[in-house]
Structure formats: C-alpha cells, structure tokens
Amino acid sequence: MPYGEKSKEQLIEYSKKAFDFFCEKNVKAVVMACNTTSATVYDILKDDYDFKLYPIIQSVTEILAHLPINKIGVFATEATINSHAYSAGINLVNPDMEVIEIACPEWVKIVEEHRENSSILELKTKIDEMNLYTPDKIVLGCTHYPYLLGQLSKLINGDIFINPARSFVEFIKSDLDSLNLLTDLSGIGKEEFFVSASPSNFKLASEVFYNISSPVILL
C-alpha cells in the first residue's frame, strides 16, 4: 500500500489473490471498498467469479449523477484519477454534469501516518486547485480521505464534501435485499480479519476508524 501508486498489473494480481481467497471462504458477496481497485480492476475481473461483486465507484456514480448540481469535483488517488472512472460513470448517466478530477497522492500517507494536524498546507494546495473550478460538491474518492474532513473543513465549508461510502452502504443493503441475500443475523454474526503481512501494523493503522477486537490472521 497505498494502492494508488501501484501499476494496473499489480492491482489485478492483488485482487485475484483476494478474490480466490474469498472463493475458498464461500462468500456470497464481496465489497470492493477501494476506489483504486474499483476503477482499474472491476471491469477486468467482474465475470470471473460466482459471488456478487460491489465496486464502490460503479455503484455510486449513478447516485452522484442525479444530484441537483452542475459541477462536481473528485479528490482521489492517482490511479483512480487516471482511470477517469468517476467522470465516465457520472457522464454516462448525466452528460451535462461537469466533473473535475484531481489526484491527491500524498493524502493516504497523511492519514496512515497520523499527520492530519501537521499537513494543513499540503491539503490547502489541493483545495486551492479545486476551488479554481468552483464545484458545487466534492467527492472524497478514497476510503482514507474522509478521515481528513476535520482539517479540510478548516479550509472550505465541510458541507461541500461527499463521502461516497454512505451511499455505497445503502446501495449494497438495498441490492442484497432485492436479491433475497440479506441475512438478519440479529447480533450473532462474527468478524474475521486476514492480512497478507504485518498484522500488528494493520491493527494499529485500523484504530483510526475501527476498534478491532478479533485476532488478525496472517495468510
């Protein structure tokens, strides 16, 4: 990591390994929460597996396209921006919406290294660049970026930002329900975490957004 700096070939290789592992676990659905893999891998691998695949970008761009606005900005990793997945998905539904895409390759590291409070100038550079286009809304197109909202909101009204994960979760729940795949576990479900390396580092980094109480298993 971060995935945003990897080549397309590397991302396909990583995703195949993950999907093959999920096949062994007999999962019913896989959430591609990563914008970068959603942008670069989904279309290549989507027909190779029997489980339901939910890619974040392809799932939320239709929702974004129906927003009552004229211009929307997207902050994302370099790989996501270079793929133009957000603009392609939005303009497929709404060709009149202007989409401004700006890469923020350092933002993932800022979050993972807990440098939010010392990186205000790095954040301001990208905000200033985006402001030149006067967008109505700005999508935080990477799972890490919403954790910068506190600092970003000091530079621009926080109401302008969209965390696509919120719409994504509702979309997945609704779709699973329509396919009769939504299970009511009534609190009896369990969590399992598997990593390809450094379980302790993973657990520490995860504390930014979630308290992992289950063991982290090294594959």
Spot the catalytic one: 100, 130, 140, 142. Answer: 142
> Tokens for 28?
């019913």
C-alpha separations of 9 from 6, 29, 41, 79 in Å: 8, 24, 9, 12
23 is catalytic: no
Spot the catalytic one: 11, 30, 34, 104. Answer: 34
Asked if residues 63 and 170 have their Cβ atoms less than 8 Å apart, the reply is: no
Other C-beta atoms closer than 10 Å to the C-beta of 140 total 24
SS3 195: strand
Nearest to 72 by CA among 155, 148, 164, 170: 164
Distance CA(113)–CA(59), nearest Å, equals 29
Read off the amino acid at residue 16.
K
Asked if residues 151 and 120 have their Cβ atoms less than 8 Å apart, the reply is: yes
List all residues 6 or more positions away from 3 whose beta carbon is below 8 Å from its beta carbon: 11, 14, 34, 36, 37, 77, 79
34 is catalytic: yes
Phi-psi region of 161 (alpha: psi -120 to 50; beta: other; left: phi over 0): beta
Which are the catalytic amino acids? Answer: 34, 142
